Chain A
């Protein structure tokens, strides 16, 4: 058998072979068969055994057998083995001394024992199973009970489930509600966050603390934003909501409180800084002003404080500058120079001007207009924005209080001036500042108006002064005993004043501005009228007067000399052109008069006056030869005298015209007279020749040709130096 080959692997064997139950027995059998019972221990055991069985005491043997049987009971098939192994046991042992009947009896006993044992074991089994059965019964009871309980529990559970379903539903709905509430809460929170101020912000706006901090401004910003957004929302289709109204109402109150706070702060600040001489603007102040411009009434209220503070500060500073000067008296007080009207007035107005410049800078930066830098000289252009209006108004009102002290002093100075030239200078200066100020602060400001007034007054003072001077000219009679025909002192002084005035005007502070020369002459025309006209009339009138008393005195030359002198004074200044034209007409008139006189004089000197007069006045019907002055003898005499006269130097230049200061004018007059002389002579010659030709004048040509110029007009022209003008 294959199993014998591998006795050491009973498990494997047991798995692979089908007669598994027998195999271990076989194995055991073989082992037993193979066992040598020769060893002393076995031999001894066998001997003992045989002794037992050999004795008749069966009970002992049975007991031992039983014990033995019990001992072998654990082994499977021991009984089989025992029964079958009798032979092998006999064989190897060779105990032939054991009688057969003992063995069968023993076997019987053994069988009995075994059966007893089996029964006993079965009984034990029964008993054990009975116990088990009982236990199982108990178990079943328990299980049944459990089942019952379970059923109960299930019912309970079902009931509970039934009951809790509504709860669950409720919970579910509650959860849902909660979710919704959460959402609503977040919406409300974000709404609140967006549409209400938090405590910090409210505190920033409403706290009584004076300072304006960035927090405050951002809170204000937020309030503004809320309001604008709220307004947008409320303008929707649904119309104003209650929340919207509430938000508007609360924010409105906060906003107002905020503005009130800005207002308080600014008022406080303005009162404080208003006292400083130089002003500087902080960013907070700028911001505050910018915001408060949303509430013009508050702004204007607070600006009133600023204006008031500035007014009194500037006034105090101005009075300081006037009376106390700088630190330790340097620079000196302005009033120290009150004796020098130009400097005094100039310093005062310049001080005001400088104060305005600083003030203007302050205000512009206060209103955030300082971006554009503007030279003060440049004309201010207003865009008409509110800020500019504010600046303008404030600037105006800041200097309001300066007007009175300034005006009092300036007018006092102006009125005290005796010198018209000084008052003219002051007037000019004031006018310059008036224009400057008008460009800086506008025409309507009180300061500009004050300057205008002061300028007007000083011009009036000046005009009064020169008019008085003009009137005074008339009151000074000419010196009757002075034979000279040159301009009198009064005229010279007057002209000197005029010259100075013109110089001032020429270098005037304003002429640069008006480039148009005609404009310049217009501006000065009235002064010229006031200055020149009285002089002209005075010359004529006084000369008339003097000539009446001193007939020999040469009135015409005197007047021309005076006029010429005045003309010379006007000459260098281009802006006097109009006046000079006027003067020229007067002079021309006078020159014509003088020419007439001179002509008469020359005729008289040349002894032709009678002849010429006769020629002119005669009745055409009466022949010349019949008239006493022109009858041949007289004519011949006259012509001979004329010839003599022609040889005198008087022909070239008349002594009468020597006193005429303008030699040009003298020449002009003389030539005019000579020309007329030539004409007269020529007319005489023609008449005489014509009559002679008609036979009414005997030897006319002879009479004419006897002496120079021999009746030749051309020759006469040559002699008197008029040959060019034939």
Chain B
């Protein structure tokens, strides 16, 4: 009957979320950024991929512990000629997925420039994850894992290798970045309340805290908003492993 439709929690079908985060995916042309993203959002390898023109947008909701996080993903073109366009999209990103091709050393050499670019244009608290793509082609490897790992450690970014062909480790960079961002929120470095931080609260987080007063006629002024959201932080701390003291 119709009633059953509502009994099952339809909100689960709908993409409600606790946090919304903006990511950019950058790196030299041909490193497989779009394929990585495609695998992440569609769970399938993207055949015959063309060069990205400018930027492309997609989104996906992931679950991290108890939290549902909606990711707004901006896939950028790696080609130099689009640099002026793509750089405009760095603004206000909370996370960056920095991709290089392990079978092409040239794509690894410029990483510092990419990272510096992202950090200046986006936010200084930008969470970066370095992804060595095409890990399925180990026989053509030109960049050693250890070397990339060292570079990542020196530059304070997370690192892992993935394959957008096999789907190996494809979700990990996005989740890793999300986890770091949550930690930043928890430690107070990032404030999802502020516009332009690249993170914002979803309705789900609010609803959970204020289920009863949700529809009260009182205005949703910023004061009540902050109060609610403070309490949410405590919730966050509960599940976060090794919660730092703020």
Contacts and interface: CB of A to CB of B under 8 A. Distances in A.
B84 A346 contact: yes
A287 B195 CA distance: 29
B123 A330 contact: yes
A276 to B, nearest CB: 8
Chief secondary structure at chain A's binding surface: helix
A365 B204 CA distance: 15
Interface in B35-91: 41-42, 51-59, 70, 72, 74-75, 80-82, 84-85, 87-91
Contact of A376 (B56, B90, B91): B56
Nearest to B50: A512
Contact of B17 (A210, A280, A347): A280
B234 interface: no
Interface stretch (A40-48, A192-200, A317-325): A317-325
Nearest to B82: A509
A351 B3 CA distance: 43
Given A350-B89, A351-B91, A509-B85, A377 B56 contact: yes
A353 B91 CA distance: 12
Interface stretch (A213-221, A567-575, A625-633): A213-221
A275 B219 CA distance: 11
A343 interface: yes
Given A327-B197, A375-B58, A509-B85, A280 B42 contact: no
Interface in B1-30: 1-3, 6-7, 10-11, 13-17, 20
A282 B84 contact: no
Contact of B59 (A326, A361, A425): A361
Nearest to B195: A277
A376 B58 contact: yes
A264 B152 CA distance: 54
Contact of A347 (B88, B124, B197, B215): B88
A218 B7 CA distance: 11
Given A210-B215, A507-B80, A282 B14 contact: yes
Contacts of B52: 377
A466 B200 CA distance: 47
B53 A331 contact: no
B14 A327 contact: no
A329 to B, nearest CB: 9
B121 A331 contact: yes
Interface residues of B, number: 56
B214 to A, nearest CB: 8
- Residue among B7, B13, B55 with most chain A CB within 10 A: B55
A63 B83 CA distance: 167
A451 B17 CA distance: 34
B209 to A, nearest CB: 15
A354 B123 contact: no
* B14, B20, B196, B200: residue with the most chain A Cβ atoms closer than 10 Å: B196
Interface string B191-222: 10011110010111001000000010100100
Nearest to B74: A354
A358 interface: yes
Interface of B: 1-3, 6-7, 10-11, 13-17, 20, 41-42, 51-59, 70, 72, 74-75, 80-82, 84-85, 87-92, 121-124, 191, 194-197, 200, 202-204, 207, 215, 217, 220
Interface of A: 210-211, 214, 217-218, 221-222, 272, 275, 277-278, 280-283, 286-287, 317, 320-321, 325-327, 330-331, 334, 342-343, 346-347, 349-351, 353-354, 357-358, 361, 365, 370, 373, 375-378, 425, 429, 432, 436, 507-509, 512-513
Given A330-B124, A349-B88, 10 more contacts: A211-B215, A272-B220, A282-B203, A283-B13, A283-B14, A350-B88, A354-B57, A432-B85, A508-B81, A509-B81
14 contacts: A214-B6, A277-B195, A280-B17, A280-B20, A280-B203, A281-B14, A326-B92, A327-B196, A347-B91, A353-B55, A375-B57, A377-B54, A425-B84, A509-B53
CB-based closest 8 A-B pairs: A326-B196, A350-B88, A214-B6, A327-B194, A507-B81, A376-B57, A280-B203, A283-B10
